[in-house]
Amino acid sequence: MATQVLTGPADRLGPDLTGTVEEIQTRQRVHPLVSYIARRFGLYLISLWGALTATFLFFRLMPGDPISAIISQLASKGQYSTQSGSEDISAYYTKAFGLDGNLFEQYLHYLNRLIIHQDLGPSIVSYPSPATHIILRSLPWTIALIGTATVISWVLGVVGGTFVGWARSSRLGGGITNIALVLSHIPAYFIALFFIIFFAYRNPIFPPNGAYDARLDKGFNLPFILSVIKYGTLPVLATTIVGVSFWLITTRALVISVLGEDYLTYAEAKGLSRRRLLNRYVMRNAWLPQISALGIVIGGVVNGNVLVEQLFRYPGVGKLLIDAITIKDVNTAQGIVVILIFLVLTLNLIIDLCLPLFDPRVKLAR
């Protein structure tokens, strides 16, 4: 079969209407996708710049003097005598922490050190170690905790919400929905506190704090892995219970809205089986919005996890953030917020870029 070629004056057909039919169809498929990726990536960069700027201004406007904090810490360790202090020593630490110059000069120095050199400056928590090393040492624990809780809660909540919405008139579905409504309004840190009291102290089934048994050698071995799982069970459950309730309620609402659509009524009138209706129509249309919502909700999970880590004394960045703010360690606290914002925004970008794979209509949206 010969390939059809469109010919004619360029001013009549236009620059996008010349060439073979296959080329035109390819351009029609590629152009919206490229435009969609460019828009999302541009929004990502703007959001990242705005978040970095807001973080800088927030920590610069906080009350307190980090230079006095570092000098007091060194004095408590016997490394410095406050009585023999001088302006030169104070000026040295002011420059080392990037606090010299006016606010705009500090902002430019902050962006240059962060973007060009990937340096967050020294940490007061463990001076003179860089704040980057301190944060990266705690970050894997937080990622493991949040990642496990998020995946479990999303899968259980979406699957459970689908079947609860599908069987919305049943007594079991109504009971599960009511329980989920109650649990969704309880903060994760309150559930964590409940777990500590009843499953760590009154019934010592799980350890109350820490991330692993300190008597074990850290490494990829079975005793250490089992210890990490045991110590992380209560923190993960505290975050998961609230997450499952949220995803179950929202998925149920989406399923019920899909059940009222005309196309589903038409498909049912054609004689399609209930399993086919559930798999091909209900689940596919109800789950797509939940994929988009996953990137939005992850920011709230990160915020709630800070208090959960503090309650369990879990060695993640949440506990480190509270410790850094307590002793006015601006570089460490600022670095934690910057890294968490970067991870959340990047995860949202990845989800946005993957959406066209599940729903081709997304790339055509303006």
What is the tens place of the pLDDT at every residue in 76-88? 655 555 555 556 5
Angle between helices 188-196 and 283-312 (to 10 degrees): 50
Instruction: Please give the single-letter amino acid code of residue 256.
Output: I
Assigned token pair, 14: 């236009």
Q: Which residue has the higher pLDDT, 233 or 120?
A: 233
Least-confidence region, from 70-84, 240-254, 298-312 = 70-84
Helix (H) or strand (E) holding 346: helix 330-358
State mean pLDDT over 248-255.
90
Domains in the chain (CATH in brackets) are 134-364 (1.10.3720.10)
Q: Taking the C-alpha atoms of 182, 184, 189 and 193 in order, what is their torsion angle to the nearest 10 degrees? A: 30
pLDDT at 104 over 80: yes
Q: Taken in order 204, 206, 207, 209, is the CA torsion positive or negative?
A: negative
pLDDT (0 to 100) of residue 108: 86
Confidence band of 300 (pLDDT split at 50, 70, 90): confident
pTM score of the predicted model: 0.76
With 0-12 / 13-18 / 19 or more C-beta atoms within 10 angstroms meaning exposed / middle / buried, residue 211 is buried
Section 103-119 average pLDDT: 83
Which pairs count as long-range contacts for 179-187, CB under 8 Å and 24+ apart, including other chains?
A: 179/245, 180/244, 180/245, 180/248, 180/249, 181/245, 181/249, 183/241, 183/242, 183/244, 183/245, 184/242, 184/245, 184/246, 184/249, 186/242, 187/242, 187/304, 187/307
Instruction: Retrieve residue 101's tokens.
Output: 């110059």
| Percent of the chain's residues with pLDDT above 90 | 10
Q: Which of 59-73, 76-90, 162-176, 276-290 has the lowest mean pLDDT?
A: 76-90
Q: Which residue has the higher pLDDT, 74 or 231?
A: 231
